[in-house]
Amino acid sequence: MEILTFEQRVKEKFNGLSAGQKKIAEYMVQNLEEAALSKAFQIGQNAGASETTVIRLAYALGFSGFSEMQEKIQRHLLLHNQNAYQASQAEYSADSGHEANPFAKVIEKERDLLGQILHQLDVQKVWDVVDALIKASQIMIVGARTSHAAAYWFSYTLSTLRENVILCPPASDVFERFSDLKQDAVLFIISFPRYARESLQLAECAKQRGIKLISVTDRMLSPIGRISDITLTTEENVESGCNSISLIISLLDLIVMGINERDAERIKARQHDLEQLYSAYNVFVE
């Protein structure tokens, strides 16, 4: 049985919460340490709501009460802090060896963040994404502004594995392209701060039309993450200061690896056809 984190529970139940409960839930997700230690009335006061709303939120999320909800947050933070301590020790050891090399610090930080993804990765969700992309009749990939580079890489890589992969260029005829999607298509959105309005509009359109929505984003309750059918996050609970494209590509690469494993026959046939075209038209130098 899958054990959901507090943030995952909030995301799963978010649409069914009252306005006051949503306000409390977002505040607690953004202030987990305070939520782990404060009393219900303090959380309500700081979030601009009542103590009763905090308690009702606990019931709405499936907890027996506020105490159980708080214990869940405390256990999650304890595990996260242990991982952070191990990462900081590794960073300290690395720093002592290359004080004069600022690039080494960047590389070590990237390594630590990749380790954080490993600890928080929901493997079943990755497989769910893999299966959805294999079964989809079409895949439309969207990534606006800072997210576009990752979207281009993912769309190109997927197009070497299967047919009907559509990349939406930024500031293009996105809604005209979207209108061509069939009911069994998948809309795959990559969305990181600052979140682009056009990506959110497409996501909302997909929900209204019953098209499966998958997102890769920085946190479960980002504007697109909260409404997606499946949400994968990269830097949740990590104080990184920015969104690393290497982490995004690493997560997308896991999806590609999964598709390679579960759809090998179709991929083999497609890549055979592609190699014939590459050879016939001298696409590559080597």
Report the C-alpha gap between 128 and 186 in whole angstroms. 12
Q: How far is CA 217 from CA 4, 147, 237, 240, in A?
A: 18, 9, 13, 14
pLDDT for 240 equals 46
pTM value surpassing 0.85: no
Does residue 147 contact residue 198 with C-beta atoms inside 8 Å?
no
pLDDT for 242 equals 56
pLDDT for 237 equals 46
| H-helix or E-strand spanning residue 33 | helix 32-37
Does residue 263 contact residue 161 with C-beta atoms inside 8 Å?
yes
pLDDT band for position 247 (cuts 50, 70, 90)? confident
Report the C-alpha gap between 285 and 262 in whole angstroms. 31
Report the C-alpha gap between 146 and 168 in whole angstroms. 14
pLDDT band for position 122 (cuts 50, 70, 90)? confident
Question: What are 131-147's pLDDT values in tens digits?
Answer: 999 999 999 999 998 89
State the DSSP code for 39: -
Report the C-alpha gap between 34 and 73 in whole angstroms. 10
Residue-range domains of the chain with CATH: 6-74 (1.10.10.10), 123-277 (3.40.50.10490)
Q: Which two tokens stand for residue 226?
A: 């909260």
pLDDT band for position 130 (cuts 50, 70, 90)? very high
SS3 18: coil
Residue given tokens 């759809």 in the structure block: 263
Does residue 48 contact residue 23 with C-beta atoms inside 8 Å?
yes
Report the C-alpha gap between 199 and 36 in whole angstroms. 33
Question: What are 78-91's pLDDT values in tens digits?
Answer: 776 665 545 555 55
